[in-house]
Amino acid sequence: MKRFAGYIFDLDGTVYLGDDPLPGAVETIGELMRQGSRCVFLSNKPIEPVQRYSEKLRKMGIPVNDNAVINSSVVMARYLSHRQPGAKVYLVGEQPLADELTRAGLIITNNPDEAEYVVISWDRGFNYQKLNDAMQAVFKGAHMVATHPDRACPVPGGLVPDAAGMIAAIEAVTGKQCEEVVGKPSRWTVTAALEQLGLAPREVLMVGDRLETDIKMGQTAGISTALVLTGITRPEDLATATIQPDYVLTGLADLLKGD
């Protein structure tokens, strides 16, 4: 298939599943890099530091530096720093996201009365207290934003609930919708990826396993798209989907077909 100057790869369900690389992923990405293509890796997953994802890829044999991986925590930190430097944030999320926001100069508060933003993310400790605090903060005027819209995350053996559950709960009790969701498929994430690659959209291929995030983001930005059938999306889903990729791959090794 056509070779691109740059590739944006999703991670979970595209490059690996759990701690194991998917078949052909390491060899394919390594070959693309050897041929001079630039690669950046995106994840909506905010429950680990971005450096952990880089380390994971390196252990698998994919030679990346920390700047080559962007997750929704990094994008959220950039978004809030741009909108309101030093803002006070009530966080529905886990410690790695809190650390990323703090490094960006934002202030995490447990007091809903003083929060200027409620940031909603995947939170495996989500409970009634957090739901109530988030609701009170929004009622007192805090902006409501979220890291990413994913309903479920693929793991070995199936799926687990993702950030959409927390978002839906807080939207339901407040009667309001998030003002911004900064992870894929938002412009904030694709802009960060293109800046890292240093390439124009027409020179890049977006590769991912989700139609509603990976493929939609690429299409909205004018980037060619490839859906890989190793994660969330099944072949039968394409028959009725309104979002259609430019390419459909059984695995990442298909990127080298025709060599």
Inside any domain, residue 120: yes
Kindly report, residue by residue over 135-186, the tens digit of the pLDDT.
999 999 999 999 999 999 878 888 899 999 999 999 999 999 999 999 999 9
What gap in Å lies between CA 101 and CA 221, rounded to an integer? 26
Is the Cβ–Cβ distance between 224 and 206 less than 8 Å? yes
Residues 176 and 188 placed together within one structural domain of the fold: no
Domain end, chosen from 132, 163, 181, is at 181
DSSP at 201: G
222: helix, strand or coil: coil
Kindly report, residue by residue over 102-137, the tens digit of the pLDDT.
999 999 999 999 999 999 999 999 999 999 999 999
Kindly report, residue by residue over 226-237, the tens digit of the pLDDT.
999 999 899 999
* Amino acid sitting at position 259: D
Residues 78 and 175 placed together within one structural domain of the fold: yes
User: Token digits for 60?
Assistant: 């698998």
Residues 104 and 140 placed together within one structural domain of the fold: yes
What gap in Å lies between CA 4 and CA 16, rounded to an integer? 22
Residues 134 and 217 placed together within one structural domain of the fold: no
Give the mean model confidence (pLDDT) for residues 216-223.
96
Residue 158: per-residue pLDDT: 85
State the CATH number of the domain containing residue 153. Answer: 3.40.50.1000
Residues 98 and 197 placed together within one structural domain of the fold: no
The structural domain count of the chain equals 2
User: What percent of the chain shows pLDDT beyond 70?
Assistant: 100
Kindly report, residue by residue over 78-103, the tens digit of the pLDDT.
999 999 999 999 999 999 999 999 99
Domain end, chosen from 181, 203, 237, is at 181
Residues 165 and 144 placed together within one structural domain of the fold: yes
Grade residue 259 by pLDDT with cuts at 50, 70 and 90.
low
Residue 154: per-residue pLDDT: 79
Residues 176 and 196 placed together within one structural domain of the fold: no
Inside any domain, residue 61: no
DSSP strand E in 109-150: where?
117-120, 143-146
